[in-house]
Chains A and B, each alone.
Chain A
């Protein structure tokens, strides 16, 4: 009897607690909606939108073997010192030459972060530092990166680099530092800032008169990249992994 009354009291206390927590939750929800409104009220800049999915289309028939303009463009843009030791230097884009043993066909292509829709690096990151933005760009939040390098192990494209040494003379638009992992950012600082801005690699490729790299919105059927994909097609590297990459290759 006594125990049942104690139970009763307990359950009443629990109910009260539940009500209290519910109220708190409501208050929290109200506060959340308020924050959203607040964000919308911003006039100076807008957030990355899920309506877009940024991607690259690389035409390997236009990409010249021995040309590394995109790599140099990327290095200059992000202040990457290419003269560092091969063992430790950062590499956001690699040029790869392929030869089909059967047909003898040779092709050359740049490989960078493929900005996967279901990115393995995001899956394995223990701190949430490796993340995918609403517009599909996969980034490292270096403020939360602990440099464990799980993402580097998980990436099937070997797209990420770890910074081993202290750096100086970073670019204002590209903060980089020792102890963190980094990779291609699709030049977010450029594409966020102004409309029709292209990533540095695409600009460098066009300047070299190859125009092998097309950047654009994969979700927009009228964008240059979507139209080219529709007419000429584009494949994913390691498509067997079904990662739905944002970087596509034509002519492989």
Chain B
């Protein structure tokens, strides 16, 4: 084989490899930033992985028990994360490239919420004092602060797997630990407090 030809082949191989590598280092979906506030109701890592279970849990509480005003509401998601177009009109959160859709399209998971739920923010949201509250970390970092207060047992277990630092709450693991937390809770002993969050 003549050297020019060999070089040509190598070049083609390189091109193929490079384009392949380019796909491998894909950095994921482009998620637009929130329109309001700089602190979500829980850490981003938790919200990314657990938003559906958090939403579902609160959904049942709201629909069946009538508990309203708690942090993990779908209306809350839409209020803060819906973008506005150049004319200041809100864009549906499930429209192409928007907050929900961008990630769901990337993960190939269909969103079923917005066939029934409003995909546009509440009228007048952003003009009220609620938004001011969001600029300070409202319930942040919720899970780390007091998981026993905000989550069901199952959710706490899931959240446990996300906690990197071996804080005192890691005692929650296992049945013995569960019994332990039940007894401390019922006798109202002081529960372990994560010093850096209080």
Contact = CB atoms under 8 A, between A and B. Distances in A.
Interface of A: 27, 30-31, 33-35, 37-38, 41-42, 44-48, 131, 133-135, 137, 139, 141-143, 166-167, 169-173, 175-178, 180, 188-189, 192-193
Given A141-B64, A193-B69, A176 B175 contact: no
B115 interface: yes
Given A31-B182, A172-B75, A45 B118 contact: no
Given A135-B66, A175-B118, A178-B115, 5 more contacts: A48-B65, A48-B66, A173-B75, A192-B68, A193-B68
B148 A38 contact: yes
B59, B65, B148, B182, most chain A CB atoms within 10 A: B65
B185 A45 contact: no
Contacts of A180: 116
10 contacts: A31-B182, A35-B152, A35-B153, A131-B64, A133-B64, A169-B118, A171-B118, A175-B116, A176-B116, A177-B116
B93 to A, nearest CB: 11
A45 B182 contact: no
Given A38-B149, A44-B70, A172-B75, A143 B63 contact: yes
A162 to B, nearest CB: 14
B68 A27 contact: no
Nearest to A33: B186
A170 B175 CA distance: 45
Interface in B66-81: 66-71, 75, 78
Nearest to A129: B63
Contacts of B175: 27
Contacts of B178: 27, 31
Given A48-B65, A176-B116, A42 B70 contact: yes
